[in-house]
Homo-oligomer: A and B are copies of this chain.
Amino acid sequence: MPLLLLKDLPRYECLLEGAKEFPDLDPSACEAFLHLLRTSDEVFSLVENDLAVHGISHGRFGVLMLLWNPAQRRIDAAHAAGDCSSGPRTPAELADAAGVTRATMTGLIDTLERDGFVRREPDPTDRRMMSVLLTEKAERFLVGILPAHFKLMTRIMAPLSESERKTLVRLLTKVLENASEISVPATEPARGPPAIC
Query: A residues near B, CB below 8 A?
Result: 1-11, 13-15, 17-18, 21-22, 24-26, 28-33, 35-46, 49, 58-59, 61-62, 65-66, 72, 96-100, 104, 108, 146-148, 150-151, 153-160, 162, 164-169, 171-180, 182-183, 194-195, 197
Contacts and interface: CB of A to CB of B under 8 A. Distances in A.
B98 A146 contact: no
A172 B32 CA distance: 9
Nearest to A147: B24
Nearest to A75: B21
Contact of A165 (B8, B32, B41, B151): B32
Contacts of A180: 42
A29 B154 contact: yes
Given A2-B1, A178-B159, A7 B183 contact: no
Given A156-B179, A178-B159, A197 B11 contact: yes
Contacts of A98: 3-7
A168 B3 contact: no
B43 A7 contact: no
A181 B33 CA distance: 22
